[in-house]
Amino acid sequence: MPSAAERTRTLVQSTCSAVLLIPGAAGSCPDQLLPDVRTVGPDGEVFLVLPADSPAVRAATHAQDDELAVVLELTDVAPVSVPNRIRGRAWLSGWLTCVPGVAEPGRMLLRLELGEASVDDLWGAETVEPDAFARACPDPLVEHEAELLQHLHSGHGDQVRSLCALLGDRESDAWDAYASAVPVALDRYGLRVRFTRRHGPGTPADRSFDARFEFPEPVDDVVALRRAMHQLFEAAGC
């Protein structure tokens, strides 16, 4: 499974939403605290681009000893329509400083030196050490995950649903017992599907659960992913 550091690094370098939380900036326009761009430097620092007149830039410019304590909060939402779409959140705490003369006109580059981080996602809640974050690599599928999940859902729904055959004794009912099967997360190690079982006698409503399907080996690109998905579908007898 991906480590907590890998998962956090993947969220930072994904397109999920992010907002800077700054003491004393509660009355500011929320849109002014949404970074336009975020990247990770070689030492694990996070670079953010914000409007030059944003509260973050003003606060960092006037911070005592050039150290402004902030939290970068990231929220990851599934790119497909399912109940409870929030897949996870991550928080990066540290000190924000301006990097003058680097960003384009009207924008400012800021550097977040990481002090601590944590992630709470489909894998669970864990803390992340700054050194581990700096060493981690984002998932190689992160740039394509949303498109791939949407393609699986819209173009291969029956095949995804057929994966219920791999659930074993825990969920061994017939295919028709499942109202839906939606792929909700994808990484180099495997695919996570949210199954919804039809309600039956004595059951008040449909219920959902997630199942994780591991690839035979980690994949590094879309070509390898295609092979891994074919293997999964073949194993399910589709």
> How many Cβ atoms are within 10 Å of 102's Cβ, its own excluded?
13
Cα of first residue to Cα of last residue in the chain, in angstroms, is 26
* pTM of the predicted structure, to 2 decimals: 0.87
The answer to whether residue 90 scores a pLDDT higher than 60 is yes
Cα–Cα dist 57/33, whole Å = 9
Cα–Cα dist 228/214, whole Å = 9
What is the structure's pLDDT at 233?
94
CA nearest to 15, candidates 145, 118, 124: 145
What is the structure's pLDDT at 169?
44
- For 147-200, write each residue's pLDDT tens digit: 999 999 999 999 999 998 898 744 445 556 667 899 999 999 999 999 987 766
Residue with tokens 């055959």: 165
Phi, psi of 25 (to 5 degrees): -110, 20
> Angle at the Cα of 76 (from 70 to 84), degrees rounded to 5?
125
- For 52-89, write each residue's pLDDT tens digit: 888 888 888 888 666 799 999 999 999 999 988 999 99
8 conformational bin, left if phi > 0, alpha if psi -120 to 50, beta if neither: alpha
What is the structure's pLDDT at 207?
79
Q: Say which residue, 227 or 167, is predicted with more confidence.
A: 227
Locate 35 and state its tokens.
């970074």
What is the structure's pLDDT at 25?
59
Q: How confident is the model at residue 205 (pLDDT cuts 50, 70, 90)?
A: low
| Residues whose CB falls within 8 Å of the CB of residue 132, separated by 6 or more in sequence, listed in order | 3, 4, 5
> Angle at the Cα of 125 (from 113 to 137), degrees rounded to 5?
50
CA contacts within 13 A on the Cβ side of 63: 21
The answer to whether residue 143 scores a pLDDT higher than 80 is yes
Strands (E), 42-156: 46-51, 68-77, 86-99, 107-121, 124-128
CA dihedral 23, 26, 28, 33 (to 10 degrees): 60
The answer to whether residue 105 scores a pLDDT higher than 90 is no
* DSSP per residue, 153-189: HHHSHHHHHHGGGGSGGGG-S-GGGEEEEEEEEEETT
What is the structure's pLDDT at 58?
86
Element (H, E) at 235: helix 222-235
- For 119-136, write each residue's pLDDT tens digit: 999 999 999 999 999 999
What is the structure's pLDDT at 172?
47
Report helix angle 145-155 to 222-235, nearest 10.
30
What is the structure's pLDDT at 231?
95
